[in-house]
Amino acid sequence: MHEESRQPCKGLINANRFDDFSLEDTAKCFSACAQSGNESCNLGNLQRYWLNYEIHLVEKSLTETVNMSFLKALVKNINTNISEDLHFSLTPSQVPKQVTEDEHRHPDRVRLPRSLFGSLQGSRPMVRLAITILNVGSGNVFKGPRLSLEDDSSVLNNHVVGLSLGHINVTGLAEPLEITFSHQHQPPNVTLSCVFWDVTKGSLSSPGSSGDWASRGCSTDVGVNGTICRCDHLTFFALLLRPILDQVTVKALTRISQAGCGTSMIFLAFTVVLYAFLRFSQQRLNSEDVPKIHVALSVSLFLLNLAFFINVGHGLKGSDAACWARGAVFHYFLLCAFTWMSLEAFHLYLLVIKVFNTYFGHYFLKLSLVGWGLPALIVIGAGSANSYGPYAIRDEKNTATLELCWFCEKTAISALYVTVHGYFLITFLFSAVVLGLVALKIFTLSSATAGKEKRQHWKGVLTLLGLSSLVGVTWGLAILTPLGLSTTYVFALFTSLQGVFIFCWFVVLYFPSRSTVTSSSGTARADQVLTVSHE
C-alpha cells in the first residue's frame, strides 16, 4: 500500500475517495501524465475517477458548490415541472451559477431545455443536477486516441464541462442543450469541433484510455468570438482545436511545393528555350502572338517559383528592408502569374468565342503592358502603405510553423485579402467562365462532326486539360482547401507542377503529328485552336 500511495496517477489509491485531499492529489496527474507511455499513469483509471466524481456529487455529496483551482462545480436540485429553460454561467474562473435569460449574456454559458426535465416528470418530481468545469491541463488525461499532442491538437483552454443527473442516463434529446465556449478569433488553419467524452470508445494502441472524444449527436456553430455546441445528451463536453496546417503538415507541403516548383522551373526554362529555337528555325513564329503569350506566362511562373524558393529558403533572415523587398517581389510575380493566366483566357476568348473583328494594333505590346504593368501598380500601392514584412503561419498554440516575408501579419491583412485573394478570385472567375464557353463550343462542334465520335470526344477532353493549365484552373483548388487536408495537398501538387503542364501543351502545339501539320499557322486562328482536338 505504501508503494501504491506514491503512485496516485495509477488511479487506485484515490478511487472512490472524493475529499479535498484526494481530489488535489489526483489533479496533480493532469501535469504528471504529460508524456505518453508513462508507466506510473493509468489514463483509464484517472478518467473514470473524474466521471465517477460527477456521479458522486449528484448521488452522495451534500455539497452545493466546489471551488478549487482546477475544479469549479455547482450542484442544484431541479423541479422537473419547470416552465422555462435553465441557463447557467460557465466562466472557468468562477463557480457555475444559474442566470436568467434576460441577464447580461455570459461569454461561457449553457442552456438546458425544459423538455429535458419534463421528460423525467413522470418518474420523479425532483432531480439533482451537477455542472462541473474541470481544468485537465496540457497532459494526456482526457485527450484520448483522437487527440495527438504531436499533432498540436488540443482541448480549448484545457477546460472540460460536465453535465450530469447522476445515474439517470439522458440521451436522444428532442431539443438539444446548448453550450457556448468563448474564444478569440482563431487562425484560418484551425478547425473547431464540439465533442463529448464517449466511454464506449477506446483504442488498440491505448488499451487503458477508457474512452475517446466523439462528435455523434453534437453540432458545431462557429462564431467570431465563440462557438455554440448543441448536443442531445449529458456527459463531459469540450471544444477541440485541430490545426489544418500543423508543423509536420507545413513541412510536408513545403517539400512538395519545392520539389514541384523545382521541376516546373526546369520545364518552364525548356519552354522558353524551345520557343527561341522554333523562332529561329520557323520564321512564322515571329508574327504569331500565341506562343509569345505562352512564353510570357512561362517567364512569370519561372520568376514566381524562383521568388518562392528565395523567400522560403531565407525565412526572416536579413534586415527589415531586405524582408520588405522579398515580400514585394514575391507579391509582384504572383500577381504577374495571375494576370498572364487571365490574359491567356482573354486571348482564348478572342480566338474561339468572338472570332471576328479581333484585330488589335501592337496587340502583344498592349498585353505586356497589362501583364507586367498592372501588378507593378498594385505592388507600388501596397508598398507605399508599408504592407510588406514578416509573416507567419501559426497553429492553435500560436506557434509559428512557417515564417517568410510577405504581408505584415498584423497591419496589412486587409491589403492581403484585397490585392491577393480578391485579385485572384476575379482573374480565376474570368478564366473559368471563358474555359466553360470554350468547352461548350468544342463539344458542340464535336457532336456535330460525323464519325470518329469517341476519338473526337477524348481529344476534346485533352484539349481542355491543356487549356486549363494555361488559364490556371488548378489554382482554383485553393477555394476547396478549407474542406480538408487532402485538398490542400492536391492544390500544392498541381499548382507547383503547372510549368510541366505548360511545356507539354507547348510541345503538342508546335510538334504536331503529320496529320495536323496541314494547319497553316498553329493556333493563330480559332479553327486552329480547335484543330488540336478536331482534325
The residue extents of the domains of the chain are 8-243, 247-510
Q: Is 394 left (phi over 0), alpha (psi -120 to 50) or beta?
A: beta
Rounded Cα–Cα distance for residues 271 and 534 (Å): 25
CATH architecture, domain defined by 247-510: Up-down Bundle (1.20)
Nearest residue to 502 via CA among 282, 269, 331: 269
Nearest residue to 402 via CA among 308, 483, 303, 306: 308
- pLDDT at residue 36 in the model: 61
Same fold, 8-243 and 247-510: no
Longest dimension (CA), the chain: 97
Who contacts 268 (Cβ-Cβ below 8 Å, separation ≥6)? 298, 299, 301, 302, 305, 499, 502, 503
Residues of the chain with pLDDT under 70: 1-6, 35-38, 102-104, 146-153, 186-189, 202-210, 243-246, 283-285, 355-359, 394-399, 409-411, 446-457, 482-484, 512-535
- pLDDT at residue 340 in the model: 97
The residues pairing with 407 across neighbouring beta strands, listed in sequence order, are: 388
Tell me the pTM: 0.60
- pLDDT at residue 55 in the model: 93
- pLDDT at residue 204 in the model: 39
- pLDDT at residue 334 in the model: 97
Rounded Cα–Cα distance for residues 496 and 531 (Å): 29
Cell of 450: 460525323
Alpha-carbon separation of residue 372 from 296, 369, 473 (angstroms): 9, 6, 21
Cβ atoms of 492 and 474 within 8 Å: the answer is no
* CATH topology for the 8-243 domain: Chondroitinase Ac; Chain A, domain 3 (2.60.220)
